[in-house]
A = this chain, B = another copy of it.
Amino acid sequence: MADDADPLVIFTPSGKRGRFPAGTPVLEAARRLGVDLDSVCGGRGICSKCQVTPGFGSFPKHGVTVAAGALSAWNAVEERYRSKRGLIDGRRLGCQAKIEADVVIDVPPESQVHKQVVRKEADAREIVLDPATRLYYVEVAEPDMHEPKGDLERLVEALEREWGLVGVAGDLRTIRMLQKALREGSWRVTCAVYFGDGSQRGRIVQVWPGFYDGSIYGVAFDVGSTTVACHLCDLQSGAVLASAGLMNPQIRFGEDLMSRVSYAMMNPGGDADMTKAVREAVNALIGQVCAEAMIAREDILEGVFVGNPVMHHLLLGIDPVELGGAPFALATSGGLTLWANEIEVEMHPDARLFVLPCIAGHVGADAAAVALAEAPHKSEDLVLIVDVGTNAEILLGDESGVLACSSPTGPAFEGAQISCGQRAAPGAIERVRIDPETKVPRFKVIGCEFWSDDPAFETAVGERGVTGICGSGIIEAVAEMRLAGVLDEDGAIGSAAQAGTPLCVEDGRTWSYVIREEGPLGPRIAVTQTDVRAIQLAKAALYAGARLLMDERGVERVDRVVLAGAFGAHISPLHAMALGMIPDCPLDAVTSAGNAAGAGARIALLNAAARREIAALATRIVKVETAVEPRFQEHFVAAMALPHKTAPYPHLAEVATLPRVSFGGAGGGEGEGRRRRRRVPA
């Protein structure tokens, strides 16, 4: 036992401290103090995960002075490790360096198990690494005919003896692998143990002979109606090694959710066809990210999936028809842990998947993922989170409670059902600015760094040319048309005379606004009255959903707005507000969260506790069902118009001119809106 004469060891950054007899290895001191210092080999000088940086000299803050000999001398194990694999100057292996006198030891982030993972996107929340699957190196007792315990049972004993893991389970596959690995590794093996089943008992997933020098991987999937996205992560470092996306091949069965549910209703076996299609996309994406990161599929031990309820059911092979009408009954609302092969996902044969819970029949696992990433339940101010896709998920709340709904925005925000629309790909117009004086537009296309009015543009855009306009492009175009007075408060495009520009051209009984004339490098690209109506319908659905939640909460304004989704990353707060897509709010309180659903999936992949957190949170979120709520219809109709007509937007008026004009345009938005609602009647 330690006494006051023993050396004092202080760990940074945790500040944990304690006295240990001279000769205690740093790793052991760290463990006894509960300091977060990683190790896979259990202190045998093999894995190098326990690297630390001792500090020397005076530490007035800690009240100690560290002498040169405070740690034992550099030893042969460290020397061999440095010569073979390299070691940063000043670093020591925590399992080899022994405490000889008072010392301050810094644990660098990469030596912490629960390290923070840097997310690229602007973030409300950091990811703390705490994966469900971990590696353990053990020395297993040799078989003894007088104590005839099986290979598996001796491994389980070793995991308990060396790592304190009680009652780890192994199945038949483990037993078969283990028999060979134990003999090949001379009774030393590395195990990947999975702890994600809600039970305290781990489960052996993979066994390697000797010390396994590689890493283990996981994939996080966001299965959207239009796009399926995949991130490959290193489960030991938390790093994203590769990302890839594909069009959801289910699109051939219907562009939006309800048309896919209809397809399943009308065609026996239709749901199975869609299940097959989306699983093929998932497997293709796994192939892509593995190729990019140069790893084998079989090294992927875990996967996490998020998606809206229809995508969730179809991915899992559950008939989605019940989701097509009231009461929108989910087959399962809880988080689901299953084997990858149960849904034909091709990775490690014993890989486990976690599918986030669905919040309600219209508010899916994608919304749960957004909640996990943006943590509205931990927000001190009232936050509105809008995740825009073909279906929008909307969350409103703070520490005192969170409300959620979904809104059927349709695919217009993703560039579909737009006359010159296309998906976000090179050649697509993604940004638009219209000079309020001249009404002349300029734009940027994906894959070209110059604006269209730059002399270098035509050369830079090259032979690919300008092929269409994507979701964020059409939104900016419509918003800029409104700000430039080309569009009135009802959403009517003015005639050339009314708008004061020859770019407004007659198009049947209505007018279109030309962004680019036809030329050698592409077709004419214009925004038609029908395009504007599609965007109005979509934004009205979005706004009505948000507004419904605000009614439910009894508030007239929110403190901040988070725009999430691929859309959220590309649309400016100004344009979102100029369209009346979101309620009024200070512009600097509108932020973009990028792909928050994907980020939530990654959090659940890298942090096992987050899976329990979202399971608990999902049941606490109060769901508001837009489909049967009469006020939703009212808000929707009222929201068809653009600011000012819709509602006062004082914060928008501060930064932008909102021309008060009316061209008495073609057809009121209201009636059209009613006819074109996409939701299947309850």
Contacts and interface: CB of A to CB of B under 8 A. Distances in A.
Interface string A384-402: 0000000000000000000
B623 A331 contact: no
A204 B655 CA distance: 60
B145 A625 contact: yes
Interface stretch (A12-20, A213-221, A333-341, A561-569): A333-341
Interface string A299-335: 0000000000000000011110010001111111110
A148 B359 contact: yes
A175 interface: yes
A342 B339 CA distance: 13
Contacts of A175: 316, 318, 331-332
Contact of A153 (B145, B153, B318, B333): B333
Contacts of A331: 150-152, 175-176, 178-179
A617 interface: no
A485 to B, nearest CB: 44
Given A143-B327, A179-B322, A327-B143, A333 B171 contact: no
Nearest to A156: B334
B623 A332 contact: no
Contact of A148 (B316, B319, B333, B343): B333
Q: Bin chain A's interface residue count.
A: 35 or more
Contact of A333 (B150, B176, B628): B150
B148 A328 contact: yes
Contacts of A342: 171-172
Q: Which 5 A-B pairs have the closest CB atoms?
A: A143-B329, A150-B333, A148-B360, A150-B332, A145-B327
Nearest to A322: B179
Interface in A330-385: 330-334, 336, 338, 342-343, 358-361, 363
Contact of A329 (B151, B171, B332, B360): B151
A46 to B, nearest CB: 25
A145 B361 CA distance: 7
Interface in A132-190: 142-146, 148-153, 170-172, 175-176, 178-180
Contacts of A338: 171-172
Given A319-B179, A360-B145, A151 B328 contact: no
B152 A334 contact: yes
B179 A318 contact: yes
A459 interface: no
A199 interface: yes
Contacts of A343: 172
A452 B528 CA distance: 106
Most buried by B among A178, A334, A338, A342: A334
17 contacts: A143-B327, A145-B328, A145-B360, A148-B333, A148-B359, A148-B623, A150-B329, A150-B330, A150-B332, A150-B333, A152-B332, A171-B342, A172-B317, A172-B342, A176-B331, A179-B331, A180-B319
Contacts of A333: 148-150, 152-153
B146 A625 contact: yes
A573 to B, nearest CB: 32
Contacts of A151: 329-332
A405 to B, nearest CB: 11
Nearest to A330: B150
A317 to B, nearest CB: 7
A395 to B, nearest CB: 15
Contacts of A149: 330, 333
A171 B332 CA distance: 10
Nearest to A170: B332
A330 B145 contact: no
Contacts of A317: 172, 176
A65 B318 CA distance: 60
A71 B142 CA distance: 68
Contacts of A172: 316-318, 336, 338, 342-343
Nearest to A171: B338
Most buried by B among A145, A180, A360: A145
Given A171-B342, A199-B199, A318-B176, A334 B145 contact: no
Contacts of A318: 172, 175-176, 179
A198 to B, nearest CB: 9
Contacts of A153: 332-334
Most buried by B among A199, A326, A331, A360: A331
Contacts of A359: 148
A329 B182 CA distance: 12
A385 to B, nearest CB: 19
A330 B625 contact: no
Interface string A435-451: 00000000000000000
Nearest to A682: B145
Contacts of A358: 148, 150
Given A150-B332, A172-B343, 5 more contacts: A143-B322, A145-B326, A148-B328, A153-B333, A179-B318
A186 to B, nearest CB: 14
B179 A628 contact: no
A317 B175 CA distance: 10
